[in-house]
Amino acid sequence: MRKIMNRVLVLLICFIVPGVLFGEDFEANESFGVKTAKITIDSKKTYQTIEGFGASVAWYEISFAQHPNREDIYYHAFQNLGLSILRLKNGYQYQTEENFNPNLAEIVRNLYKYSDRNPKILMSLWSPPPDLKSNNALRGGTLKRDENGKFIYDAFARYWIDSLKAYKKMGIVPDYISIQNEPSHGEWESCFLYETESADTAGYDKALEAVSKALQSLQPRPQILAPEEQGIDYNIFQNFARFFNKDLIYGYAYHLYHGESDRVNDNHNPDLFIPNLERIAKDYSDKPIFQTEYDRGDWFNTAWIMHNCLVYGNVSAYLYWALVWQGDKGLIQLESLGNPSTWTTSEGYVLTPYYYAFRQYSKFISPGWKRISAGSTSENLKISAYINPAKDAMTIVMLNVSNENYDVSIGKADFESLRGGIFRTSETEHGKYIGLYRKDTILSVPSRSITTLALDVRIIN
Protein backbone atom coordinates (compact mmCIF):
# COMPACT_ATOMS: atom_id res chain seq x y z
CA MET A 1 0.00 0.00 0.00
CA ARG A 2 2.84 2.37 0.83
CA LYS A 3 4.47 1.69 -2.58
CA ILE A 4 1.22 2.52 -4.34
CA MET A 5 0.81 5.77 -2.39
CA ASN A 6 4.40 6.77 -3.16
CA ARG A 7 3.84 6.16 -6.89
CA VAL A 8 0.68 8.29 -6.83
CA LEU A 9 2.57 11.06 -5.04
CA VAL A 10 5.35 11.01 -7.64
CA LEU A 11 2.81 11.21 -10.48
CA LEU A 12 1.06 14.13 -8.79
CA ILE A 13 4.36 15.95 -8.44
CA CYS A 14 5.13 15.31 -12.10
CA PHE A 15 1.82 16.75 -13.21
CA ILE A 16 1.63 19.71 -10.85
CA VAL A 17 5.24 20.81 -10.39
CA PRO A 18 7.39 19.36 -13.19
CA GLY A 19 10.33 21.56 -12.23
CA VAL A 20 10.62 19.85 -8.84
CA LEU A 21 11.57 16.54 -10.44
CA PHE A 22 13.26 17.62 -13.64
CA GLY A 23 14.72 21.07 -12.94
CA GLU A 24 13.39 24.53 -13.62
CA ASP A 25 14.39 24.49 -17.32
CA PHE A 26 12.43 21.34 -18.11
CA GLU A 27 9.58 21.78 -20.59
CA ALA A 28 6.61 19.85 -19.18
CA ASN A 29 5.52 18.37 -22.51
CA GLU A 30 8.85 16.57 -22.94
CA SER A 31 7.81 13.99 -20.35
CA PHE A 32 4.63 13.15 -22.24
CA GLY A 33 6.02 12.51 -25.73
CA VAL A 34 6.03 16.06 -27.09
CA LYS A 35 9.38 17.67 -27.89
CA THR A 36 9.98 21.42 -27.56
CA ALA A 37 11.98 23.84 -29.65
CA LYS A 38 12.48 27.54 -30.22
CA ILE A 39 12.97 29.34 -33.47
CA THR A 40 15.06 32.46 -34.10
CA ILE A 41 14.46 35.17 -36.68
CA ASP A 42 16.79 37.95 -37.84
CA SER A 43 15.01 40.13 -40.39
CA LYS A 44 18.08 42.30 -40.94
CA LYS A 45 19.98 39.42 -42.52
CA THR A 46 18.49 39.00 -45.97
CA TYR A 47 19.10 36.67 -48.90
CA GLN A 48 17.45 36.30 -52.31
CA THR A 49 14.46 38.22 -53.57
CA ILE A 50 11.53 35.97 -54.42
CA GLU A 51 10.38 36.06 -58.06
CA GLY A 52 7.49 33.69 -57.44
CA PHE A 53 6.06 30.20 -57.23
CA GLY A 54 4.62 28.48 -60.26
CA ALA A 55 3.71 25.38 -62.22
CA SER A 56 3.34 24.23 -65.81
CA VAL A 57 0.43 23.81 -68.18
CA ALA A 58 2.02 21.87 -71.00
CA TRP A 59 -0.21 18.98 -72.07
CA TYR A 60 -3.76 19.18 -70.68
CA GLU A 61 -4.83 22.58 -71.99
CA ILE A 62 -8.09 21.25 -73.49
CA SER A 63 -9.10 19.32 -70.36
CA PHE A 64 -8.35 22.42 -68.29
CA ALA A 65 -9.98 25.10 -70.43
CA GLN A 66 -13.08 23.07 -71.37
CA HIS A 67 -13.76 21.41 -68.05
CA PRO A 68 -17.40 21.95 -66.94
CA ASN A 69 -16.14 23.20 -63.56
CA ARG A 70 -13.27 25.23 -65.01
CA GLU A 71 -14.20 28.42 -63.13
CA ASP A 72 -13.70 26.62 -59.83
CA ILE A 73 -10.43 25.16 -61.08
CA TYR A 74 -9.23 28.61 -62.20
CA TYR A 75 -9.98 29.94 -58.74
CA HIS A 76 -8.05 27.15 -57.03
CA ALA A 77 -5.16 27.31 -59.50
CA PHE A 78 -4.63 31.04 -59.77
CA GLN A 79 -6.04 32.65 -56.62
CA ASN A 80 -6.27 30.14 -53.79
CA LEU A 81 -2.85 28.70 -54.64
CA GLY A 82 -1.27 32.13 -54.97
CA LEU A 83 0.39 31.16 -58.23
CA SER A 84 2.63 33.93 -59.57
CA ILE A 85 4.41 32.20 -62.49
CA LEU A 86 2.70 30.08 -65.15
CA ARG A 87 4.99 27.97 -67.34
CA LEU A 88 3.72 27.23 -70.83
CA LYS A 89 4.91 25.03 -73.66
CA ASN A 90 5.78 26.85 -76.88
CA GLY A 91 3.71 24.70 -79.22
CA TYR A 92 3.79 26.98 -82.23
CA GLN A 93 4.37 24.98 -85.41
CA TYR A 94 3.63 27.58 -88.10
CA GLN A 95 -0.06 26.67 -88.30
CA THR A 96 -2.14 28.80 -90.63
CA GLU A 97 -4.90 29.36 -88.04
CA GLU A 98 -4.85 32.77 -86.40
CA ASN A 99 -5.48 31.27 -82.96
CA PHE A 100 -3.51 28.04 -83.12
CA ASN A 101 -4.20 27.19 -79.49
CA PRO A 102 -7.30 29.03 -78.26
CA ASN A 103 -7.47 26.86 -75.12
CA LEU A 104 -4.14 28.24 -73.96
CA ALA A 105 -5.36 31.79 -74.54
CA GLU A 106 -8.42 31.06 -72.41
CA ILE A 107 -6.24 29.76 -69.58
CA VAL A 108 -4.02 32.84 -69.66
CA ARG A 109 -7.02 35.20 -69.67
CA ASN A 110 -8.22 33.54 -66.50
CA LEU A 111 -4.75 33.64 -64.97
CA TYR A 112 -4.92 37.44 -65.16
CA LYS A 113 -8.57 37.45 -64.09
CA TYR A 114 -8.15 35.40 -60.92
CA SER A 115 -4.60 36.17 -59.78
CA ASP A 116 -3.95 39.22 -57.63
CA ARG A 117 -0.15 38.92 -57.90
CA ASN A 118 0.63 40.43 -61.29
CA PRO A 119 1.53 36.94 -62.51
CA LYS A 120 4.28 36.28 -65.03
CA ILE A 121 4.56 33.77 -67.85
CA LEU A 122 7.55 31.55 -68.61
CA MET A 123 7.47 29.92 -72.06
CA SER A 124 9.72 26.92 -72.68
CA LEU A 125 10.35 25.14 -75.98
CA TRP A 126 10.27 21.37 -76.23
CA SER A 127 10.90 21.19 -79.98
CA PRO A 128 10.91 23.57 -82.93
CA PRO A 129 8.98 22.48 -86.05
CA PRO A 130 10.16 19.26 -87.72
CA ASP A 131 11.35 21.11 -90.82
CA LEU A 132 13.99 22.82 -88.66
CA LYS A 133 15.18 19.49 -87.26
CA SER A 134 17.93 17.16 -88.46
CA ASN A 135 15.59 14.15 -88.24
CA ASN A 136 12.41 15.95 -89.43
CA ALA A 137 10.63 14.92 -86.23
CA LEU A 138 9.55 16.52 -82.95
CA ARG A 139 11.29 13.89 -80.84
CA GLY A 140 15.08 13.79 -80.78
CA GLY A 141 17.39 15.23 -83.39
CA THR A 142 19.18 18.56 -83.40
CA LEU A 143 18.98 21.61 -85.63
CA LYS A 144 19.19 21.03 -89.37
CA ARG A 145 22.18 22.13 -91.44
CA ASP A 146 21.89 24.50 -94.40
CA GLU A 147 23.28 23.95 -97.89
CA ASN A 148 26.69 25.06 -96.64
CA GLY A 149 26.74 22.52 -93.83
CA LYS A 150 26.09 25.13 -91.12
CA PHE A 151 23.53 24.63 -88.35
CA ILE A 152 20.52 26.89 -88.92
CA TYR A 153 20.77 29.02 -85.79
CA ASP A 154 19.25 32.05 -87.54
CA ALA A 155 16.19 30.05 -88.65
CA PHE A 156 15.82 28.79 -85.07
CA ALA A 157 15.90 32.41 -83.85
CA ARG A 158 13.34 33.48 -86.47
CA TYR A 159 11.08 30.67 -85.31
CA TRP A 160 11.22 32.06 -81.78
CA ILE A 161 10.32 35.56 -83.00
CA ASP A 162 7.49 34.24 -85.17
CA SER A 163 6.10 32.19 -82.29
CA LEU A 164 6.20 35.10 -79.85
CA LYS A 165 4.39 37.34 -82.34
CA ALA A 166 1.74 34.68 -82.86
CA TYR A 167 1.22 34.26 -79.12
CA LYS A 168 1.03 38.01 -78.65
CA LYS A 169 -1.95 38.12 -81.06
CA MET A 170 -3.66 35.66 -78.72
CA GLY A 171 -2.97 37.84 -75.69
CA ILE A 172 -0.07 35.74 -74.42
CA VAL A 173 3.10 37.76 -73.83
CA PRO A 174 5.81 35.81 -71.97
CA ASP A 175 7.89 37.59 -69.38
CA TYR A 176 10.56 34.88 -69.54
CA ILE A 177 11.54 32.34 -72.17
CA SER A 178 13.73 29.26 -72.13
CA ILE A 179 15.02 28.64 -75.66
CA GLN A 180 15.14 24.85 -75.15
CA ASN A 181 13.76 22.63 -72.41
CA GLU A 182 16.34 20.07 -71.19
CA PRO A 183 18.72 20.52 -74.15
CA SER A 184 20.71 17.34 -73.45
CA HIS A 185 17.68 15.10 -72.93
CA GLY A 186 15.64 13.57 -75.74
CA GLU A 187 13.08 11.17 -74.33
CA TRP A 188 10.08 13.34 -75.26
CA GLU A 189 9.62 16.13 -77.76
CA SER A 190 13.07 17.65 -77.79
CA CYS A 191 15.95 19.18 -79.68
CA PHE A 192 19.48 18.28 -78.69
CA LEU A 193 21.71 21.30 -78.14
CA TYR A 194 25.06 20.49 -76.55
CA GLU A 195 27.08 22.95 -74.50
CA THR A 196 29.08 23.83 -77.61
CA GLU A 197 28.73 22.79 -81.19
CA SER A 198 30.05 19.36 -82.17
CA ALA A 199 30.29 17.54 -85.48
CA ASP A 200 26.80 16.09 -85.03
CA THR A 201 24.97 18.46 -82.69
CA ALA A 202 24.21 22.17 -82.64
CA GLY A 203 25.55 24.26 -79.77
CA TYR A 204 23.37 25.79 -77.05
CA ASP A 205 25.77 28.73 -76.79
CA LYS A 206 25.33 29.70 -80.46
CA ALA A 207 21.58 29.12 -80.40
CA LEU A 208 21.32 31.41 -77.37
CA GLU A 209 23.32 34.12 -79.12
CA ALA A 210 21.10 33.92 -82.21
CA VAL A 211 17.84 34.11 -80.24
CA SER A 212 19.10 36.92 -78.02
CA LYS A 213 20.14 38.96 -81.06
CA ALA A 214 16.78 38.40 -82.75
CA LEU A 215 14.90 39.48 -79.61
CA GLN A 216 16.42 42.97 -79.88
CA SER A 217 13.75 43.88 -82.42
CA LEU A 218 10.86 42.65 -80.26
CA GLN A 219 8.80 44.80 -77.89
CA PRO A 220 8.14 43.92 -75.18
CA ARG A 221 11.22 41.78 -74.99
CA PRO A 222 11.11 38.71 -72.75
CA GLN A 223 13.96 37.85 -70.41
CA ILE A 224 15.91 34.65 -71.09
CA LEU A 225 16.41 31.90 -68.48
CA ALA A 226 19.13 29.32 -69.17
CA PRO A 227 19.98 26.51 -69.57
CA GLU A 228 16.93 24.76 -68.03
CA GLU A 229 18.80 21.46 -67.91
CA GLN A 230 17.28 18.21 -66.62
CA GLY A 231 19.16 18.23 -63.30
CA ILE A 232 22.05 19.56 -61.26
CA ASP A 233 24.26 16.49 -60.91
CA TYR A 234 27.19 15.38 -63.10
CA ASN A 235 28.20 19.07 -63.44
CA ILE A 236 25.75 19.33 -66.35
CA PHE A 237 24.43 22.73 -65.28
CA GLN A 238 27.96 24.07 -64.79
CA ASN A 239 29.14 22.69 -68.14
CA PHE A 240 26.40 24.57 -69.98
CA ALA A 241 26.84 27.76 -67.96
CA ARG A 242 30.60 27.68 -68.55
CA PHE A 243 30.21 28.23 -72.30
CA PHE A 244 27.23 30.49 -72.92
CA ASN A 245 27.40 34.28 -72.63
CA LYS A 246 25.88 35.10 -69.25
CA ASP A 247 25.31 38.71 -70.28
CA LEU A 248 22.53 37.47 -72.56
CA ILE A 249 20.36 36.00 -69.82
CA TYR A 250 18.30 37.32 -66.92
CA GLY A 251 18.61 34.27 -64.69
CA TYR A 252 19.74 30.67 -64.39
CA ALA A 253 17.29 27.78 -64.60
CA TYR A 254 17.43 24.07 -63.90
CA HIS A 255 15.28 21.04 -63.07
CA LEU A 256 15.91 18.50 -60.32
CA TYR A 257 15.44 15.12 -61.99
CA HIS A 258 18.96 14.34 -60.92
CA GLY A 259 20.93 16.08 -58.22
CA GLU A 260 21.53 13.62 -55.39
CA SER A 261 24.99 12.58 -54.31
CA ASP A 262 23.66 9.05 -53.67
CA ARG A 263 22.07 7.94 -56.93
CA VAL A 264 22.22 4.21 -56.22
CA ASN A 265 18.89 4.03 -54.43
CA ASP A 266 17.25 6.81 -56.48
CA ASN A 267 15.12 7.62 -53.46
CA HIS A 268 14.91 11.37 -54.05
CA ASN A 269 15.88 12.22 -50.49
CA PRO A 270 15.63 16.03 -50.38
CA ASP A 271 18.73 16.45 -48.21
CA LEU A 272 20.91 14.60 -50.72
CA PHE A 273 20.41 17.52 -53.10
CA ILE A 274 21.99 20.02 -50.71
CA PRO A 275 25.65 19.81 -51.84
CA ASN A 276 24.75 20.47 -55.48
CA LEU A 277 22.25 23.18 -54.54
CA GLU A 278 24.86 24.95 -52.42
CA ARG A 279 27.54 24.65 -55.08
CA ILE A 280 25.42 26.33 -57.73
CA ALA A 281 24.13 28.98 -55.31
CA LYS A 282 27.71 29.91 -54.40
CA ASP A 283 29.19 29.91 -57.90
CA TYR A 284 26.23 31.53 -59.71
CA SER A 285 25.12 34.21 -57.29
CA ASP A 286 25.29 36.97 -59.89
CA LYS A 287 21.77 36.32 -61.21
CA PRO A 288 18.44 34.97 -59.93
CA ILE A 289 18.15 31.18 -59.91
CA PHE A 290 14.92 29.49 -61.03
CA GLN A 291 13.97 25.87 -60.34
CA THR A 292 11.48 25.41 -63.16
CA GLU A 293 10.32 21.77 -63.07
CA TYR A 294 10.18 18.89 -60.59
CA ASP A 295 7.62 16.47 -59.16
CA ARG A 296 9.38 13.54 -57.49
CA GLY A 297 8.71 12.23 -53.97
CA ASP A 298 5.51 12.33 -51.93
CA TRP A 299 3.59 15.42 -50.84
CA PHE A 300 5.78 15.98 -47.78
CA ASN A 301 9.01 15.66 -49.75
CA THR A 302 7.61 18.28 -52.11
CA ALA A 303 7.66 20.82 -49.30
CA TRP A 304 11.03 19.53 -48.07
CA ILE A 305 12.75 19.97 -51.44
CA MET A 306 11.16 23.42 -51.73
CA HIS A 307 12.70 24.31 -48.38
CA ASN A 308 16.12 23.06 -49.46
CA CYS A 309 15.99 24.89 -52.77
CA LEU A 310 15.01 28.14 -51.07
CA VAL A 311 17.46 27.90 -48.16
CA TYR A 312 20.45 26.05 -49.63
CA GLY A 313 19.93 26.68 -53.33
CA ASN A 314 18.99 30.33 -52.85
CA VAL A 315 16.42 29.98 -55.63
CA SER A 316 14.29 33.01 -56.38
CA ALA A 317 11.53 30.96 -58.00
CA TYR A 318 10.27 27.42 -57.50
CA LEU A 319 8.01 25.75 -60.06
CA TYR A 320 6.27 22.43 -59.66
CA TRP A 321 5.88 20.39 -62.84
CA ALA A 322 2.17 19.97 -63.56
CA LEU A 323 -0.43 22.48 -62.45
CA VAL A 324 -3.13 20.20 -63.87
CA TRP A 325 -2.76 16.55 -64.86
CA GLN A 326 -4.83 13.44 -65.39
CA GLY A 327 -2.95 11.50 -62.74
CA ASP A 328 -1.91 11.67 -59.13
CA LYS A 329 1.17 13.88 -59.53
CA GLY A 330 -0.43 17.15 -60.60
CA LEU A 331 -1.24 19.87 -58.12
CA ILE A 332 -4.78 19.57 -59.45
CA GLN A 333 -5.88 16.17 -60.73
CA LEU A 334 -8.37 16.33 -63.60
CA GLU A 335 -10.77 13.48 -64.16
CA SER A 336 -11.58 12.42 -67.72
CA LEU A 337 -13.23 15.25 -69.64
CA GLY A 338 -14.64 12.87 -72.22
CA ASN A 339 -16.07 10.33 -69.80
CA PRO A 340 -17.77 11.97 -66.79
CA SER A 341 -19.39 8.65 -65.85
CA THR A 342 -15.99 7.50 -64.59
CA TRP A 343 -15.54 10.46 -62.25
CA THR A 344 -14.80 9.57 -58.65
CA THR A 345 -15.88 13.02 -57.47
CA SER A 346 -18.90 15.17 -58.26
CA GLU A 347 -16.61 18.05 -59.26
CA GLY A 348 -14.45 16.12 -61.72
CA TYR A 349 -11.19 17.33 -60.19
CA VAL A 350 -9.16 16.83 -57.00
CA LEU A 351 -6.87 19.18 -55.10
CA THR A 352 -4.08 16.73 -54.37
CA PRO A 353 -1.83 16.56 -51.29
CA TYR A 354 0.90 18.14 -53.45
CA TYR A 355 -1.37 21.15 -53.93
CA TYR A 356 -1.66 21.78 -50.21
CA ALA A 357 2.03 21.18 -49.51
CA PHE A 358 3.00 23.62 -52.26
CA ARG A 359 0.41 26.14 -51.08
CA GLN A 360 2.04 26.40 -47.64
CA TYR A 361 4.68 28.47 -49.47
CA SER A 362 3.02 29.85 -52.60
CA LYS A 363 -0.06 31.36 -50.95
CA PHE A 364 1.81 33.23 -48.24
CA ILE A 365 5.00 34.46 -49.97
CA SER A 366 4.60 37.10 -52.67
CA PRO A 367 6.95 38.21 -55.44
CA GLY A 368 9.31 40.91 -54.21
CA TRP A 369 9.62 39.47 -50.72
CA LYS A 370 13.05 38.57 -49.38
CA ARG A 371 14.14 35.48 -47.53
CA ILE A 372 15.54 36.36 -44.11
CA SER A 373 17.61 34.52 -41.53
CA ALA A 374 15.72 31.84 -39.58
CA GLY A 375 16.77 28.88 -37.46
CA SER A 376 15.66 26.33 -34.91
CA THR A 377 17.03 24.68 -31.78
CA SER A 378 16.05 21.31 -33.26
CA GLU A 379 17.49 19.82 -36.44
CA ASN A 380 14.11 18.14 -36.99
CA LEU A 381 12.48 21.50 -37.64
CA LYS A 382 13.32 23.07 -40.99
CA ILE A 383 12.60 26.81 -40.78
CA SER A 384 12.54 29.50 -43.43
CA ALA A 385 11.21 33.04 -43.20
CA TYR A 386 10.32 35.84 -45.64
CA ILE A 387 9.53 39.54 -45.31
CA ASN A 388 7.75 41.98 -47.60
CA PRO A 389 9.39 45.18 -48.93
CA ALA A 390 7.47 47.39 -46.45
CA LYS A 391 8.72 45.17 -43.61
CA ASP A 392 5.29 44.97 -42.05
CA ALA A 393 4.39 41.41 -43.13
CA MET A 394 6.31 38.21 -42.54
CA THR A 395 5.80 34.54 -43.35
CA ILE A 396 7.48 31.71 -41.43
CA VAL A 397 7.31 28.14 -42.73
CA MET A 398 8.15 25.20 -40.46
CA LEU A 399 8.62 21.59 -41.53
CA ASN A 400 8.72 18.92 -38.87
CA VAL A 401 10.60 16.15 -40.67
CA SER A 402 10.59 13.78 -37.69
CA ASN A 403 8.08 11.26 -36.37
CA GLU A 404 7.72 13.20 -33.11
CA ASN A 405 5.38 16.04 -32.19
CA TYR A 406 6.81 19.43 -31.21
CA ASP A 407 5.67 22.44 -29.22
CA VAL A 408 7.41 25.42 -30.80
CA SER A 409 7.78 29.00 -29.65
CA ILE A 410 9.52 31.99 -31.17
CA GLY A 411 12.61 32.75 -29.15
CA LYS A 412 15.15 35.34 -30.24
CA ALA A 413 13.63 37.65 -32.83
CA ASP A 414 13.82 41.29 -33.89
CA PHE A 415 10.12 41.78 -34.54
CA GLU A 416 6.81 41.99 -32.74
CA SER A 417 3.85 40.11 -34.12
CA LEU A 418 0.78 42.32 -34.26
CA ARG A 419 -1.52 39.58 -35.49
CA GLY A 420 -1.46 36.62 -37.83
CA GLY A 421 -2.84 33.30 -38.90
CA ILE A 422 -1.60 29.74 -38.48
CA PHE A 423 -2.07 27.26 -41.34
CA ARG A 424 -1.11 23.60 -41.40
CA THR A 425 -0.86 20.69 -43.81
CA SER A 426 -0.31 17.15 -42.55
CA GLU A 427 -1.43 13.65 -43.40
CA THR A 428 -4.95 14.50 -42.24
CA GLU A 429 -5.06 18.31 -42.59
CA HIS A 430 -5.06 20.15 -45.90
CA GLY A 431 -4.11 23.79 -45.56
CA LYS A 432 -6.17 23.95 -42.38
CA TYR A 433 -6.56 27.27 -40.62
CA ILE A 434 -5.50 26.52 -37.06
CA GLY A 435 -6.23 29.90 -35.51
CA LEU A 436 -4.77 33.30 -34.67
CA TYR A 437 -1.14 33.69 -33.71
CA ARG A 438 -0.55 35.97 -30.77
CA LYS A 439 2.61 36.96 -28.98
CA ASP A 440 4.14 34.04 -27.07
CA THR A 441 1.79 31.51 -28.68
CA ILE A 442 3.04 27.93 -28.32
CA LEU A 443 2.68 26.27 -31.71
CA SER A 444 1.72 22.64 -31.94
CA VAL A 445 3.72 21.15 -34.83
CA PRO A 446 2.78 17.50 -35.46
CA SER A 447 5.14 14.96 -36.96
CA ARG A 448 5.63 15.21 -40.74
CA SER A 449 3.67 18.41 -41.05
CA ILE A 450 4.09 21.86 -42.58
CA THR A 451 3.06 24.87 -40.50
CA THR A 452 2.93 28.39 -41.91
CA LEU A 453 2.64 31.61 -39.93
CA ALA A 454 1.32 34.58 -41.93
CA LEU A 455 2.02 37.58 -39.71
CA ASP A 456 1.58 41.33 -39.58
CA VAL A 457 4.70 42.56 -37.81
CA ARG A 458 6.60 45.54 -36.48
CA ILE A 459 10.37 45.40 -36.74
CA ILE A 460 12.23 46.26 -33.55
CA ASN A 461 15.21 48.50 -34.23
Q: What is the pTM of this model?
A: 0.91
The backbone torsions φ and ψ at residue 401, rounded to the nearest 5 degrees and listed phi first, read -90, 5
| 8 Å CB contact between 248 and 240 | no
CA distance 372 to 47: 6
- What's residue 440's pLDDT? 82
Domains and CATH numbers, the chain: 34-46+371-459 (2.60.40.1180), 51-367 (3.20.20.80)
Q: What is the pLDDT of residue 25?
A: 33
Per-residue pLDDT of the chain (461 residues; tens, 9 = 90+): 443 444 333 333 333 333 332 233 334 455 457 999 999 999 999 999 999 999 999 989 999 999 999 999 999 999 999 999 999 999 999 876 667 788 999 999 999 999 999 999 999 999 999 999 999 999 999 999 999 999 999 999 999 999 999 999 999 999 999 999 999 998 889 999 999 999 999 999 999 999 999 999 999 999 999 999 999 999 999 999 999 999 999 999 999 999 876 554 545 789 999 999 999 999 999 999 999 999 999 999 999 999 999 999 999 999 999 999 997 789 999 999 888 889 999 999 999 999 999 999 999 999 999 999 999 999 999 999 999 999 999 999 999 999 999 999 999 899 988 889 999 999 999 999 999 998 888 999 999 999 999 999 999 97
Please give, one letter per residue, the 3-state secondary structure of 57-114.
Answer: ECCCHHHHHCCCCHHHHHHHHHHHCCCCEEEEEECCCCCCCCCCCHHHHHHHHHHHHH
2-9 — which CB contacts under 8 Å span 24+ positions? Answer: none
pLDDT score recorded for residue 97: 66
Q: Determine the Cα–Cα distance for residues 266 and 347; give it in Å rounded to an integer.
A: 36
pLDDT for the residue 261 = 60
